[in-house]
Amino acid sequence: MKVEGLVSSLRNAETIEELFSILKKKGAPVMDLEGMKKLVIVEGDFEGKQFYTEINGLKANMALGDAMLNASSVPFKCKKPFTGGNLIFVDYDNIEAEEFVLAYTAENTGVYFHVKGGEAREISREEYEELKDRMPEFKVKSYSEEEMEGMGAFFG
């Protein structure tokens, strides 16, 4: 699938539940995008309600840490005014955790997944809550010290 196709399909979402449903139908949270396996993170705002991704119970930006700098991000908008967010794509090859749980979540709604060996299966909220504290640490390769120093010099 192409990133543009995924972004354009998200424009059709009229509710947060529909947004999560479209992501799920397209294969998220682990997708093949243009021949590369990616972990799909989503965050944004839907008419004033925040939605975001959790990994093992932590907001994705906390779980990913410095690796967020190594991920690509694509903004998207939905049909309704004041809705949209960012899709963040993490190269699956950079994920060092063999197993984790992930949730696309918002107030009073969510879609939950158990990812093991690169394959995701949908689970219930109860299973997610039960598993999140038992998962191994979620680790993603991030930049080395030299790369960070080089970026510091680049960004001034």
Distance (Å, whole) CA 80 – CA 98: 38
Note the residue count of the chain: 156
Q: What is the pLDDT of residue 145?
A: 52
Beta-bridge mates of residue 115: 100, 120
| pLDDT tens, N- to C-terminus, the chain (156 residues) | 788 888 899 999 999 999 999 999 999 999 998 889 999 999 999 988 999 999 999 999 888 877 777 688 899 998 888 889 999 999 999 999 999 999 999 999 999 999 999 999 999 999 999 999 999 999 888 655 554 455 444 444
Largest Cα–Cα separation, the chain: 46
Among candidate residues 80, 91, 120, the one with its CA nearest the CA of residue 104: 120
Rounded to two decimals, the pTM is: 0.86
- Quick one: pLDDT at residue 45? 93
